A and B are shown apart, each in its own frame.
Chain A
Amino acid sequence: MSVPILECVDVHAAYGRIEVLRGVDLKVPRGAVVALLGPNGGGKSTLLKVISGQMEKTSGHVHMAGVNVHGASADDLARLGLTTIPEGRSVFPNLTVEENLLLMSYAGVAPDKVFDTAYSYFPRLHERRYQLAGTMSGGEQQMLAMARALTSDPALLLLDELSMGLAPLIVDELYETVAKIAESGVSILCVEQFARTALRVSDYAAVMTGGRVVATGEPNEINEIMADVILGGAA
């Protein structure tokens, strides 16, 4: 078996006295899409913060492509091929669409190529290229955020709650993009509250509650237990 693109071994992290991650073990095989599901407060977003270098872990190891990344800063990792789309609208609201795209070239792809890829994939962004990102609709903003995943040619893509606050059809569109990125061979770890939506595009799924991964498996196995996990045993 080849070395996984991402491997977390017994990762612990805490906000002060409160431990949020209590020994997370998780693997993302090269080229696979892994959905990370679970209720709020389960530690999903915190795990992504640790992996992306935004938060320090208290113990454990994170390996990327077999290399132990310890103490690497978020911007170092970003330039080395890790693209993170954080929760919420991860665009700069007071910059125009084009300026947002320009900044995406920091990840290492030439600006012209960034523009080409983004506009050919999302023509809507081309129409709005001189508009301030903050004045666009939520869906359009998320499109712009996804453009970074498309254009930065990452080795590993981390997606956090892509669908938050968006209408179902738009969520659908966004996940088509995710599927397309996956086809190009990018490994993806996506955190999602809408289990069914995420499971449609994923190869594997993991469920986190209480700061641990409590179940892993194929999408259909996980799908069956999700209603219980989210809406409570009675649902």
Chain B
Amino acid sequence: MGAFLSYTVIGIFTGAAYAIAASGLVLTYSTTRVFNIAHGAVGMVFAFLYWDFSVKQGLPVWLSLILVLGVCAPLTGVFIQRVITRGLGNAPVGASLVVTVAMTVMLIGIARQIWPPDARSLEQYFPDHLIHMGSVIVTWQQIITVVVSILVAAGLYVLLSRTRIGTAMRASVDNPDLLHLYGGRSDIVAALAWAVGTSLAALGGILLAPVIGLQYFDLTLLVISAYAAAMLGKLTNLPLTYVGAMGLGLGQSYIVGYLQYIPGHDKLTGLPAVMPALFLFAILVLLPQAPLRIGQVKGLVSAPVPTLGRSAVFGGGLIVVVILMAAGMADSDLLLVGTAATYGIVMLSLVLLTGYGGFVSLAQFTFAGVGAVAYAKLDQPNLFGLLVAVLISAAVGALVALPVLRLTGLYLALATMAFGLLMDKVVFTSSWAFEFNNPLNAKRLSIFGTHVNSIGNYTIMMTVFFVLISLVVVAVRRGPLGRILIATRDSQAACGTLGLDIRWVRVALFASSAGVAGLAGALLAGLRGTIVSNDFIFFNSLLLLVCVAIWGVTSVSGAAMGAIFLMLLNYLPGFLGKNESTQGLLFILLGAGAILIGRNPNGLMFWVFKIPSWIQGGLFPVLADRFPGMALKVRDFAGGDRDDEVIGEPGGAHAHRDEEEVDSDAVAAR
């Protein structure tokens, strides 16, 4: 009984802290429709900042709290709303996911850069004063957290129900345009929501840091608990969010306490850590079906699609370059080239899923991990083993998509995130995968009996795989499947009325994308010879997404450039653990890049694709004027220039065509 009460006390404390963080998430999402993936990272950075003020610089606790919660966090919130996420509420959900994921990466980079890895700790409040309630010991930290969560709830209630600006916050959820007609300023409303929301993230981080520890990732992933709690209230209902947070806190505490009584518990040591992810997944599965949206026309996509022939030429070129490199490079460098090919193939799977299909996956590297484990465990280092590994990954991908078949956009992305964490903490560490982070051995692949043994040859082979899959992706895009994918993105309602069951398209898409990622993982396992679960940690998926977002997720060339880019980063001293001192800086650069560019799904390739038409349309005429004798062929690009026109009907609420698209004709006309 005493134990039960103790677990309850811990559960209430954890739940209260979750509730604080979750309510901030709900506030920002419900007023601006931007789901902030980086909510946990924000809390993490401010927990570090609080440590810096109160411990490192020795400021009084009250002053540190005021500085962090009253000044820095709100100002950061306003900055995020004004500069980083402005206008994302009306953009496709993919854009806001990419931008906030990029923000997560950037914030982790900032934290690493300012506070390099070191042993730090935040003390609990009044650690020496324990309160004995019968057999149960309660700490002041716990009491303070619970009291603060009640105060936050009361404060939010007063703000949202008793003040005009709070009422305006709730109104802007329904209809921001109407709020304008009422004379309300939705930008002020949004800025206030983000200021308060960011402070709440910081508060949650500060209260939990003494318990969890000042760790970049642990504190960032805390947000999963906030997501799960907020999801119970469908991201808009605060009371239900509190209920969800409490339920999650208690459940987690009881699991920790009573796990030892469950048979086979020794294999479930990761379970308490993934409770939030499981909880999130369960709620997502139980969410009701979202109706098909109608009344929006939009054309997006439109990175130019090369012909198969052109792609083959480029692919051949790439292979030749790698062959030349293989001849002159050291093994350790070749390993990096091979790894880049892996990244490239995983990015291709994102081109398929996100670029063509419009779904964001936050756990693409996890599927690669599934492929790697399957390949290593099968111990069939040949094409058959590779195929089985791919099929297993595809099946797992379908399994993730199936339960959440009815969901769209944001919810689907969160489901992949929950899945990624689950695999990270439970499956990859369990005895039938990596066995507590032990390395797993895999053999090099043999093709029709020919062993590809040297690293050089293996790297060439991986490049060939990359090129082949690129060709397949281009072929898919040019074929009926690609058109159907784009059609489902443009109008689900129209696809439905034409007889297409969109749900199965989605499952098939997830499965094939996971299969491609699994192939990459299997090949990587063969390349490395040994793999560890850390190769496939969840955070790598985010890094990869950020990278491909910078170069453009809508084109195969974007994936190729993204992979080469990642490889070049590998050469810089200090990438991925080689040199701790610059890693943070890299994360910051990557994150900032994706924030700047990620809104446009065509990424940097958008600008690259424009160069030819700019040369022909802008430069040639100028040159022709200057040097009339030059035999430059000036072509009329009037029809090929980008046009930002919006189609619509009188009075119709039409979605606007993405302004920043590449006109495919302009490039195809070359």
The B654-669 residues at the A interface (CB cut-off 8 A) are: 654, 657
| Given known contacts A15-B650, A18-B647, A41-B650, A103 and B167 CB-to-CB distance under 8 angstroms | yes
Q: Which residues of A contact B178 (CB under 8 A)?
A: 86, 90, 92
Residue of A whose beta carbon sits closest to that of B168: A103
Residues of A within 8 A of B646 (CB): 15-16
Q: Knowing A16-B647, A16-B648, say if A106 contacts B183 (CB, 8 Å).
A: yes
* Contact yes or no, B183 A15, CB < 8 A: no
What 1/0 flags go to B171-190 for Cβ under 8 Å of A?
Answer: 10111011111111110000
| Contact with A45, one of B168, B175, B651 (Cβ below 8 angstroms) | B651
Decide yes or no whether A36 CB sits under 8 A from chain B: no
Complex CA gap A152/B183 in Å reads 10
A54 closest partner in B (C-beta): B177
- Nearest Cβ on chain A to B90's Cβ, whole angstroms: 14
Interface residues of A in 135-149 (CB under 8 A from B): 148
CB atoms of A75 and B185 under 8 A apart: yes
Contacts of A45 in B (CB 8 A): 650-651
Residues of A within 8 A of B652 (CB): 15
Of the listed stretches A93-101, A217-225, A227-235, chain B binds A93-101
Residues of A within 8 A of B181 (CB): 52, 54, 74-75, 78, 83-84, 86, 90
Does B650 contact A99, Cβ atoms closer than 8 Å? no
A99 and B183 in contact, given A41-B649, A90-B178 (Cβ under 8 angstroms) = no
What's the least CB distance linking B643 to chain A, in Å?
9
Inter-subunit contact B170/A15 (CB<8 Å) = no
Residue from the set A15, A20, A54, A148 with the largest chain B CB neighbour count within 10 Å:
A15
Q: Which residues of A96-126 are within 8 A (CB) of B?
A: 99, 102-108, 111
Q: Is the CB of A148 within 8 A of B182?
A: yes
Residue with the highest number of chain B CB atoms closer than 10 Å, among A73, A74, A86, A106: A106
Instruction: Please classify how large the interface on chain B is, using the bins under 10, 10 to 19, 20 to 34, 35 or more.
Output: 20 to 34
- Cα-based distance from A103 to B180 in the complex (angstroms): 11
CB distance from B193 to the nearest CB of A (A): 16
Q: Are B164 and A106 in contact (CB under 8 A)?
A: yes
Q: How far is the CA of A43 from the CA of B650 in the complex (A)?
A: 6
**Chain A 67-92 interface 0/1 with B at a Cβ cutoff of 8 Å (1 = within):** 00000011100110001101100101
Determine if B179 and A103 form an interchain contact, defined as CB atoms under 8 angstroms apart. yes
User: B645 contacts the other chain (Cβ, under 8 Å)?
Assistant: yes
**Given A103-B164, A108-B183, residue A20 in contact with residue B171 (CB < 8 A):** no
* Residue numbers in A under 8 Å from B174 (CB-CB): 92-95
Once the chains are docked, how many angstroms separate the CA of A31 from the CA of B174? 34
Residues 160-189 of A contacting B (Cβ, < 8 Å): none
Residue in B177, B182, B647, B654 whose CB lies within 8 Å of A106: B182
Question: CA separation between A78 and B184, bound complex, in Å?
Answer: 8
Chain B contacts of A202 at CB under 8 A? Answer: none
In this complex, what residue of A is CB-closest to B163? Answer: A102
Neighbouring A residues of B182 by C-beta, 8 Å: 75, 78, 103-104, 106-107, 148
Q: Is the CB of B177 within 8 A of A15?
A: no
Cα separation A174 to B646 with both chains bound (whole Å): 36
Please determine whether B173 and A15 come into contact, CB atoms closer than 8 angstroms: no
Instruction: Determine whether the beta carbon of A15 is less than 8 Å from that of B185.
Output: no
Q: Which residue on chain B has the smallest CB distance to residue A87?
A: B651
Q: What B residues does A83 contact at CB under 8 A? A: 181
Contact with A along B535-563 (1 / 0, CB 8 A): 00000000000000000000000000000
| B647-A95 in contact (CB<8A) | no
**Residue from B177, B178, B645, B657 having most chain A Cβ neighbours under 10 A:** B178
Could you tell me if A75 and B651 are in contact, using CB atoms closer than 8 angstroms? Answer: no
Once the chains are docked, how many angstroms separate the CA of A43 from the CA of B657? 22
Sample of 10 A–B contacts (CB below 8 Å): A41-B649, A42-B650, A53-B180, A75-B179, A75-B185, A90-B181, A95-B170, A106-B182, A106-B183, A108-B183
Please list the residues of chain A having a beta carbon within 8 angstroms of any beta carbon in chain B.
15-18, 20, 41-43, 45-46, 52-54, 73-75, 78-79, 83-84, 86-87, 90, 92-95, 99, 102-108, 111, 148, 152
Q: A87-B651, A103-B168 are in contact. List 10 more A-B contacts (CB 8 A).
A: A15-B650, A16-B648, A17-B647, A43-B650, A78-B183, A84-B181, A94-B174, A102-B164, A105-B164, A106-B164
